[in-house]
Amino acid sequence: MDNSVGAGFMAVFAVSGSVVLLSLQLHKRLLSDFMKKIEFELGSEKDMPKKKVRFADDVMDPSSENKEHRRKHLGKPATRVDLIDQGPNSRADGKLDTMPLNWQVMYKGIIEYRTLKGCNVSNGF
């Protein structure tokens, strides 16, 4: 009986030892792959290639001093962008005349986005 118990302990010890060794090797491999991915994502900027800018085929090179380009594409300069149908007592009426054109266009885009999204739009900027 002592012989069979000893053989049983030896078998359990061998199986559990091999399971431990296999799990250790698997853990090392998974940890190594994970660390490689992390190092790749967080790698230093000097190792990463610089991004190249590619323009679309239809991009035109503007002419000298951009006069011809402005004449073709801009048309008459806008003095005011009608953002909302505003009444005579609107607080934003005088502000739009003094606002730069690029800000007017930006606010117009914000208003259009909000109306498409369904948000409430206030008249006073």
With respect to residue 87, please indicate whether it lies within any of the assigned structural domains: yes
Residue 83 has pLDDT above 50, yes or no: no
To the nearest 10°, the Cα dihedral for 8, 10, 11, 17? 140
With respect to residue 59, please indicate whether it lies within any of the assigned structural domains: no
pLDDT in tens, 5-14: 889 999 999 9
Cβ-based neighbours of 79, under 8 Å, separated by 6 or more: 97
CA angle 114/119/125 to nearest 5° reads 65
Find the domain containing 9 and state its range. Answer: 1-48
Give the number of domains in the chain.
2
**What residue has token string 């078998």?**
11
Q: Provide mean pLDDT across the span 45-56.
A: 72
pLDDT band at 111; cut points 50, 70, 90: confident
Between 29 and 2, the more confident residue is 29
> Domain boundary at 11, 29, 48, which?
48
Does the predicted TM-score (pTM) go above 0.85?
no
Between 28 and 88, the more confident residue is 28
Same domain, 81 and 43: no
With respect to residue 19, please indicate whether it lies within any of the assigned structural domains: yes
Residue 34 has pLDDT above 50, yes or no: yes
Q: Provide mean pLDDT across the span 43-51.
A: 67
The pLDDT, as a whole number, for residue 73 is 62
